[in-house]
Amino acid sequence: MTDTTQRTSPTPDGKPARRRFWDSAAVVAEEAGYTVNLDGRPVRLPGRALLLVRSHALAQALAAEWAQAGGGKGGLFAPEDLPLTRIAGTMIERIAPDREATVAALLHYANGELLCYRATHPATLCERQAAQWTPWLDWLRERYGIALHTTEGVMPITQTPQALEALGTILRGYDDATLAALGVMVPAMKSLVLGIAVVTGACDAARAARVATLDERTQMEIWGRDAQQEAMLAVTAREVAEAASFLELACRG
């Protein structure tokens, strides 16, 4: 993340890696918030902005990531070892300067909303989708007055302009940290509805990830376990949990 880290060969699992050059990571109070310093030098993001947040709890968690990355000076670490830093960097360098671009990107998921595309078979999956997905569409309608169309199969549907406008209004009312969390959750789950449910506290991250991966888990139950699929489900659960943790820390102050 900092411009002073050095690129090295990939880690054993093939991920791009950098070599840790610092001994210690610490939180430093600034006039506008808190930064993370590595051996006294502030972390800068790829666009040269300071890694500066308003929440002391979040800053402590960011510093803890850097303290653990690589296991010690000279060790290798990858971007995946700094998930909270990655979300904070997006918030600082991408969302804060242009919130509308993030709102537009999130709204693209409305027409492809996972919960709106229902299977026609097998019967077990159809029943589970109705039982686990419909309640969240009902929740959206009851809480916000937004009704989304559903369909069977994969033929694309377009939600009404009124629904899209209402969803846009909800998103524009969120702060940068919430948009940053949604920017991770929504692509991971392919569901704007579940993302909104998590950031509003209506659903916890673990449950939302399970609901979002209902199809994959049911298919494995029917056809047998698949290691690659299980790994993908674990990534989804981890990313949603990380985004939820980021938001909780950012709101703690």
44 and 140 fall within a common domain = no
117-141 pLDDT, tens digit per residue, is: 999 999 999 999 999 999 999 999 9
> 70 CB contacts (<8 Å, ≥6 apart)?
19, 20, 76, 77, 81
Strand partners, 77: 18
Q: How many domains does the chain have?
A: 2
* Rounded-to-integer distance, Cα 218 and Cα 131, Å: 13
Domain assignment present for 1: no
For 8-36, how does the pLDDT look when each residue is reduced to its tens digit (9 = 90+)?
A: 444 445 567 899 999 999 999 999 999 99
pTM score of the predicted model: 0.92
Q: Which residue has the tokens 């569409």?
A: 137
Residue 26's CB: how many other CB atoms inside 10 A?
15
Residue ending a domain, choose from 69, 95, 121 = 95
Structure tokens at 20: 């840790």
pLDDT at 78 over 90: yes
Domain of residue 50 covers: 6-95
We report the CATH number of the domain holding residue 137 as 1.10.3580.10
DSSP 8-state secondary structure symbol assigned to residue 70: G
Q: Are residues 199 and 86 in the same domain?
A: no
Q: Which of 33, 64, 95 is the last residue of a domain?
A: 95
Residues 64 and 110 in one domain: no
Last residue of a domain, one of 60, 95, 130: 95
